[in-house]
Chain A
Amino acid sequence: AQSVTQLDSHVSVSEGTPVLLRCNYSSSYSPSLFWYVQHPNKGLQLLLKYTSAATLVKGINGFEAEFKKSETSFHLTKPSAHMSDAAEYFCVVSERGAGSYQLTFGKGTKLSVIP
């Protein structure tokens, strides 16, 4: 069985400082991993995804994540936070089961950016 743990429910950073949103997963096989962002009153939008290619994945808006199999982590980072990054972020693991894929979402991390 797979699971996703987002280690922080809320992260607060100052504008211009680095962002780190942490995600750990457990998976029986080789998973695909995603980060989605949800702005207030909006649907989710893909930031980036890992599907067994390069372990360092670059996404939109300057975000990137590194897949570390030994640590079972897929943390999301950005060098410099912008006010528009304030949103909720979801880490997702997808694993192929018996005849279908199983998708598991983390609980989400709400990012606040202080001017």
Chain B
Amino acid sequence: DAGVIQSPRHEVTEMGQEVTLRCKPISGHNSLFWYRQTMMRGLELLIYFNNNVPIDDSGMPEDRFSAKMPNASFSTLKIQPSEPRDSAVYFCASSLGSGTETQYFGPGTRLLVL
């Protein structure tokens, strides 16, 4: 299996631009998670989906952030408009379940907003 695939791996953009991060979970996994990691705040869970349905989005910072999962093999995290404080590494993870199952992490997208 290819594991969790994220694209792009690196993104540099200017403040105010729209940013779209993409994730392909492991085939057969029914839960998908988006995380953000910064030096200041550590690792934060933004949102997770179960069977393509958003279950908990309480970690999404504000309305500028949105996430979708149109099918079992694809999810996006969009930031519009982006701000410098959104600079971070964004991880996607998938699992067979949501609570007690192992999460498999992608390599992350390193976002820099200038």
- Are the C-beta atoms of B43 and A96 separated by less than 8 Å? no
Question: CA of A36 to CA of B93 in the docked complex: distance in angstroms?
Answer: 13
27-66 of chain A: CB within 8 A of chain B: 32, 34, 36, 42-46, 49, 51
Inside 8 A of A43's CB, which chain B residues have their CB?
Answer: 4, 91, 93, 105-108
- Report B's interface with A, CB cutoff 8 A: 4, 33, 42-45, 48, 50, 55-56, 91, 93, 98-100, 102-108
The B interface is mostly helix, strand or loop, or mixed, namely strand
- Are the C-beta atoms of B42 and A108 separated by less than 8 Å? yes
As a 0/1 sequence over residues 86 to 109 of chain A, the CB contacts with chain B under 8 angstroms (1 = contact) are 000010001110011111010110
On whether A101 and B99 interact (CB within 8 A), knowing A43-B105, A44-B105, A107-B42, the answer reads yes
On whether A44 and B91 interact (CB within 8 A), knowing A105-B42, A107-B42, A108-B42, the answer reads yes
On whether A51 and B42 interact (CB within 8 A), knowing A43-B106, A45-B105, the answer reads no
Inside 8 A of A36's CB, which chain B residues have their CB?
Answer: 103
- Are the C-beta atoms of B100 and A51 separated by less than 8 Å? yes
The A interface is mostly helix, strand or loop, or mixed, namely strand
Inside 8 A of B105's CB, which chain A residues have their CB?
Answer: 43-45
On whether A32 and B106 interact (CB within 8 A), knowing A43-B91, A105-B45, the answer reads no
Interface centre among B4, B50, B98 (most CB of A within 10 A): B98
Question: CA of A99 to CA of B48 in the docked complex: distance in angstroms?
Answer: 13
Taking a contact as CB atoms closer than 8 A, the residue among B48, B103, B107 that contacts A42 in the complex is B107
- Are the C-beta atoms of B91 and A96 separated by less than 8 Å? no
Give the nearest-CB partner of B42 in chain A: A107
On whether A94 and B100 interact (CB within 8 A), knowing A43-B107, A44-B91, the answer reads yes
- Are the C-beta atoms of A46 and B102 separated by less than 8 Å? yes
List 20 other contacts, CB 8 Å, given A43-B91, A43-B106, A49-B102: A32-B99, A34-B102, A42-B107, A42-B108, A44-B93, A44-B103, A44-B105, A45-B105, A46-B104, A51-B100, A94-B99, A94-B100, A95-B99, A99-B55, A100-B55, A100-B56, A101-B98, A101-B99, A103-B45, A108-B42
